[in-house]
A = this chain, B = another copy of it.
């Protein structure tokens, strides 16, 4: 077993145990070096690996050592990104995933939401409405906030994270096609309507129905970018 790997797994272990909390700092490279009885290069290789896994961050000149970071979905997002590129995942694959997961999250939200949750969602839609024809960046921020709020209600962290990651990848894949297209205003109006429909379905409390409305909404939004056969497969998810 290689020297730097031992260091990596020891520090990883400490972080997982909660022994090293986010915001805490490792000691300096020179301290770690004597602490683990290895050379500085070895310490640095270990730090580079931890850094690339999103566990720590180190910057030159900082007095205390590398900082322990809070968990971030970024490594997961990266894995999925490379999966998209290397395995040649298509828009269809991603949309399928989103319809499946986000629809389910809406179903959970319909079944388990509280009063306050509905208010949060309403505010997101209002912010979207306000930004129509105006600020397309504020619009998409409110859009993302809506989806995240829906996901939070359901409360399954795994679904939430996966869905966020895939949503990000979808945007990457077709950013140019939609955000900057012509008739941008119309499309934004359209999106507001669809979000309202999803909101109503969630408020209605019927999980099956909310799932379906959400999936149909995603389907319609992206259908134009998909082939006939792909659309047929996606329809399997609609009842």
Contact = CB atoms under 8 A, between A and B. Distances in A.
Interface of A: 4, 8, 15-16, 41, 44-45, 48-49, 52-53, 71, 73, 75-76, 78-80, 82-87, 89, 93-94, 96-97, 100-101, 104, 107-108, 111-112, 156-159, 161-162, 166, 207-208, 233, 236-237, 239
Contacts of A87: 71, 157
Main secondary structure, interface of A, reads: helix
Contact of A161 (B49, B83, B166, B233): B83
A188 to B, nearest CB: 28
Contacts of A15: 86
Contacts of A236: 107-108, 111, 207
Interface centre among A48, A71, A86 (most CB of B within 10 A): A48
Contacts of A158: 80, 83-84, 89, 93-94, 96-97, 166
Contacts of A239: 208
A86 B71 contact: yes
Nearest to A93: B158
A84 B49 CA distance: 20
A108 B97 CA distance: 13
Given A83-B161, A108-B233, 11 more contacts: A16-B86, A45-B45, A71-B83, A75-B75, A84-B158, A89-B158, A93-B156, A93-B157, A93-B159, A100-B104, A107-B236
A11 to B, nearest CB: 13
Contacts of A80: 76, 158
Contacts of A86: 15-16, 71
* Leading 3 A-B pairs by shortest Cβ distance: A76-B79, A49-B52, A45-B48
A53 B80 CA distance: 12
